[in-house]
């Protein structure tokens, strides 16, 4: 079987991790998280491609670009989780398995964070485990892909 390729997308303001509201999002930087994911990907023998953007259209383009290149998407859509019909439609359009992750437990926070436009088009969602949300999300996505391919 060919090696699995996964696209990792980080949405707006996640470039500021490490200094951004550390009580809520932790002290790890985005580079730290990408390094953790790379190490896990090596263990699980998958290829990762990571991108962060503060721009909705760039994220939409990246989702389109995954078609035919990657087999699944791990995404922390940041605030676009709660606002973006465009991201949701892009995910529905490419028809690739997506796992949504959040560092914080969005359901413990303000009411406007309780709704996700992404969740109904995702395989699943992990929220509240800090950087481990990404690791758990990656593991879940890979298991899902390997089960659906067997």
Catalytic residue among 10, 55, 80, 102: 102
CB of 137 to ligand DQA, least distance (A): 11
Residues engaged in binding ligand DQA (CB under 6 A): 13, 76, 78-79, 81, 102-104, 106, 113
Separation of alpha carbons 9 and 118, rounded Å: 13
Please say which residue, 71 or 134, places its beta carbon nearer to ligand DQA: 134
Residue 131: count other Cβ atoms within 10 Å of its Cβ. 20
- Our answer to whether residue 102 is catalytic in this structure is yes
The beta strands (E) that lie in the chain are given as 4-10, 46-52, 72-76, 98-102, 124-127
Separation of alpha carbons 7 and 69, rounded Å: 9
CB of 20 to ligand DQA, least distance (A): 8
67, 96 Cβ separation under 8 angstroms? yes
Please say which residue, 11 or 97, places its beta carbon nearer to ligand DQA: 11
- Our answer to whether residue 117 is catalytic in this structure is no
Looking at the annotation, which residues are catalytic? 25, 102
């Amino acid at each position: 079987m060919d090696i699995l390729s996964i696209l990792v997308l980080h949405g707006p303001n996640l470039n500021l991790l490490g200094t951004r509201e550390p009580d809520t999002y932790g002290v790890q930087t985005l580079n730290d998280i990408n390094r953790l994911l790379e190490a896990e990907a090596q263990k699980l023998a998958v290829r990762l491609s990571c991108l962060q953007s503060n721009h909705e259209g760039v994220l939409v383009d990246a989702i389109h670009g995954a078609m035919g290149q990657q087999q699944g998407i791990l995404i922390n859509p940041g605030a676009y989780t709660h606002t973006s019909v465009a991201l949701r439609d892009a995910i529905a359009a490419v028809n690739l398995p997506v796992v949504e992750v959040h560092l914080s437990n969005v359901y413990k926070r303000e009411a406007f964070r309780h709704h996700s436009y992404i969740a109904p088009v995702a395989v699943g969602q992990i929220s509240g485990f800090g950087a481990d949300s990404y690791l758990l999300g990656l593991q879940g996505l890979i298991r899902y892909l390997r089960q659906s391919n067997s």
